[in-house]
Structure 1
Amino acid sequence: MSIPPPPGPHQPEGHSPQPGPSPHQPGPCPQGPGPYPQDPYQQGPYPQDPYQHGPYQQGPYGQPYGQPPYSAWGQGYSPYNRPAPVNGLAISSLVLGILCCLPGVGLVLGLVALRQIKRRAERGRGLAIGGSVLSGLGLGLWVLMLATGGAGAFWEGVKEGARDDAVFTLSKGECVNAPGGSLRGETYDVDTVDCDGEHDAEVFASFDLPGGPYPGQEALDETAGDRCYGLQDGYAMDAWAVPDDVEVYYLVPTTESWSIGDRAVTCLFGNTVEGEPLTGSLRNDETVLDADQVAYLKAAHVLNAALDTAPDTEYVEDDLPGHRAWARRVSAALDEQAGMLRGHDWPAGASGPVAALADDLDKARAQWSKAAGSGDVDTFYEHYEKGYDLLDPKRSVTARKALGLATTPPSAADGGSGTGGGPGGTGMEV
């Protein structure tokens, strides 16, 4: 907005100004050609002043009478045509009263605004009254909520709403697509899709972390990795049915989501090749398997859990006592597994193959037991290798086929006998 120029100097006393052209209509055209414009007030045939450069001279008294000092587009300046200003505190009071966020402040501002409006002759009395009334009602509501405990419930609802907006929750058995197909880095949203079609990942488990300060990304990764790898067997009981290109992934809280109460860890199956989708569900647990299949897989898990406890040392000679203790655990698991297989009432077509498998487990148990009692590294390797060969996954294919389970061993189960190195970490699946 531009302000019009101030009024010109007073006209000489007693002079009656001549009416000029209307400010909204064009004036008359100049009178004829010539080197100098004509003076509209010059009387008689006297020549025009050769030093005059136009109808508006510079200086307060060089103006011809009747002409405005500037060519203004708007109305002339007058200090008396401004309306009274609106009181700012009245506006603030009304805003706070509507928002009901600081009702006490809004009420005080409204009362102060009413005093200022009366003293300064300002506008905004209605705004101040409205703000004071709304703020007073809001203040009364806050007092009531504090007295009845409603404020705490309201705040919890606010935090819950913020958590729902910032943290997405996934349920066991859901299949999802990640932004860009990537299962690495940070993500703020995923799309739930049908597991029968292509998808990036499938949720197989979830758990909550304890409260406290944010533990850091490295600690979260370690906890999530250990727990998720241990929980996968509960969802995909038959590891042979999980493709070799499927790996375990997980979602953990970020620093931001942790600050609003996110403690959830989600475990997922995804393809080892980024961008390659999965098709169909990998779920094979008690909800989709029959009782005979579940009984066989539970017995197999007893041995697999013991095999996974092998020492971390690369060579037996680096920790012979640790490997002997491991061999004792494997021997006990083999005894338990054989007992579980023999104690179940199998269908006619599966009873023979399962009984043969139990006999192989007994033979393997004897070798692992001798390895556990070995006095030197060479003796350990001798019995370990014999017991390892008797646990060849191919020996269980016939029983699996009879029970309708997967019959192709995972590639991780096709490792060597461990000669020349430590046997730890074989992770065999039977």
Structure 2
Amino acid sequence: MSIPPPPGPHQPQGPYQPPQSGLPQYPQYQQAPYGQQQPPPYPSPYQPWGQGYGPYPAQAPVNGLAIASLVLGLLCCLPGVGLVLGVVALVQIRRRSERGTAMAVTGSVFSAIGLGLLVLMLATGGAADFWQGVKEGASGRSSLSLSTGDCFDTADHALDDDLVGDVTPVACDDGHDGEVFATYRLGGSGYPGDDAVGDSAGDRCYGLEDTYVLDVWAVPDDVAVYYFTPTRDSWADGDRDVVCVFGSSTRGGRLTDSYRQGPEAYSADQLAYLKAAHVLNAALDTAPDSEYIEDDLSGNKAWAARMATALGKQTAMLRAHRWGADAKQPVASLVDDLDKARAEWTKAAQAPDVDTFFTHYDKAYKLIDPHRTVTVRDALGLTAVPPAYEDGSGGEGDGSGSGGGGSGVEV
């Protein structure tokens, strides 16, 4: 009897045939003779993929002129250059199959807008105004930078133009166009309007004269009060300052000296009188803006009450001072008139109607006419000629306002 061979690894019959598809193929194993153990299958190893993934294809470069056009267009620094670069970039992108079309188009559009705005500014003079503002900001010589006590010249030696911008600081003892005697800030968040700003400046600047010049009667009649006020545009930039200025009432005229006066320039009697007069002048400057009493009776009555209070304070100051022999009697007569005026202002403040108010108002005003102070001023050695006011009325109270007319100037 023959003995079968020992079991061993199954060998494929015939040469190996590669698989017909990408899936791994396992060979069929043969049936073992009866009674023998079935040998385990041994699959052939996996075959490698016939086609692997290669690297991504290289992208086209971004056109450099397109980038430059976008930067210049967004910055608006050289709009003409940005527009030219954008057009050239589009031509190069099409010819070279480069990227950057969107950047070139965006840069060209913004450059075109910037170029159009530049042409418009040149045509309307806006570019000149802008450059003027830049120069003023760089030099710090704008009218907005003026402070109390500064003397200055303007570009055309005129203060009555609608707009004063560039100024040149000069010494006050030399010839100059203007001298700043006061500044103050307007309140509120919204621009109040040209008329409201001008009215405020007119009232406040005249009332602030005697904070710089103790005796405003000493200011010559050919010296006028001007004021620089914010415009709607400068208000949006944070400008709130009103600048009160002395200048010649004649266009092109020049001031030759400073009008600032300190207490050291006066005697004790003169200083006592001027301080008392300032109390009344300050109350006069709080008069309502209404043109007619009937337009604001309650406001006028409140003002009359302030006048009565100021007169009480003024007479108390005049009585408290020890006057020299020459001034004692004239001051006493003036105090009597002021007492009578105070009584009339008090009655006006309590008036039930317009007619009653006006009756007492008229009497009170006559009792504080500045001509009634001429005798006292002459006795004290002060200027005894009342200023020539703009309306020819001779003024209100003693020492309120200076000679010449006022003018508002926007900055």
Which range, TM-score by smaller chain?
Answer: 0.5 to 0.7
Q: Deviations over 1:285-344 (max 9, x none)?
A: 325334432321221121122223333333334443333332222122111111111112
Matches within 5 A, 1:234-245: 234-245=211-222
The residue number in structure 1 matching 2:397 is 428
Give the alignment's TM-score, normalised by structure 1.
0.51
Aligned residue among 356, 359, 368 for 2:345: 368
Q: State the alpha-carbon separation in 1 of the partners of residues 355 and 188 from structure 2.
A: 49
The alignment status of 1:390 with 2:359, answered yes or no, reads no
SS at structure 2 position matched to 1:301: helix
Q: State the alpha-carbon separation in 1 of the partners of residues 190 and 347 from structure 2.
A: 49
The residue number in structure 2 matching 1:422 is none
The residue number in structure 2 matching 1:294 is 271
Count of residues in correspondence between the two structures: 266
The alignment status of 1:202 with 2:179, answered yes or no, reads yes
The alignment status of 1:345 with 2:322, answered yes or no, reads yes
Q: State the alpha-carbon separation in 2 of the partners of residues 192 and 405 from structure 1.
A: 32
Q: State the alpha-carbon separation in 1 of the partners of residues 200 and 218 from structure 2.
A: 26
Identify the range of structure 1 (289-298 vs 361-370) with the bigger mean alpha-carbon deviation. 289-298
Contact kept, 8 Å, 2:187 with 2:240, in 1: the verdict is yes
Q: State the alpha-carbon separation in 1 of the partners of residues 211 and 347 from structure 2.
A: 32
The alignment status of 1:284 with 2:258, answered yes or no, reads no
Q: State the alpha-carbon separation in 1 of the partners of residues 137 and 188 from structure 2.
A: 15
The alignment status of 1:174 with 2:150, answered yes or no, reads yes
Deviation at 1:264, TM superposition (A): 5.8
The residue number in structure 2 matching 1:412 is 389
Matches within 5 A, 1:225-236: 227-236=204-213
Q: Which has the higher contact order (CA 8 A, sep 6+)?
A: 2
Deviation at 1:275, TM superposition (A): 0.9
Q: State the alpha-carbon separation in 1 of the partners of residues 231 and 302 from structure 2.
A: 40
Contact kept, 8 Å, 2:207 with 2:285, in 1: the verdict is no
Deviation at 1:410, TM superposition (A): 1.9
The residue number in structure 2 matching 1:379 is 356
Q: State the alpha-carbon separation in 1 of the partners of residues 189 and 358 from structure 2.
A: 47
The residue number in structure 1 matching 2:306 is 329
Deviation at 1:398, TM superposition (A): 1.5
Q: What is the alpha-carbon root mean square deviation over aligned residues? A: 4.0
Deviation at 1:277, TM superposition (A): 1.8
Q: State the alpha-carbon separation in 2 of the partners of residues 223 and 355 from structure 1.
A: 36
SS at structure 1 position matched to 2:156: helix
Identify the range of structure 1 (396-405 vs 169-178) with the bigger mean alpha-carbon deviation. 169-178
Letter in 2 for 1:248: V
SS at structure 1 position matched to 2:208: helix
Contact kept, 8 Å, 1:211 with 1:263, in 2: the verdict is no
SS at structure 1 position matched to 2:225: strand
Would the alpha carbon gap of residues 287 and 254 (structure 1) be closer, same or farther in structure 2, given more than 3 Å must change? farther
Deviation at 1:181, TM superposition (A): 1.0
SS at structure 2 position matched to 1:270: strand
The residue number in structure 2 matching 1:17 is none
Aligned residue among 247, 260, 264 for 1:270: 247
Q: Deviations over 1:398-422 (max 9, x none)?
A: 11122222211123398669xxxxx
Contact kept, 8 Å, 1:271 with 1:278, in 2: the verdict is yes
Would the alpha carbon gap of residues 332 and 206 (structure 1) be closer, same or farther in structure 2, given more than 3 Å must change? closer
Contact kept, 8 Å, 1:205 with 1:235, in 2: the verdict is yes
Q: State the alpha-carbon separation in 2 of the partners of residues 320 and 227 from structure 1.
A: 22
Letter in 1 for 2:149: G
Give the alignment's TM-score, normalised by structure 2.
0.53
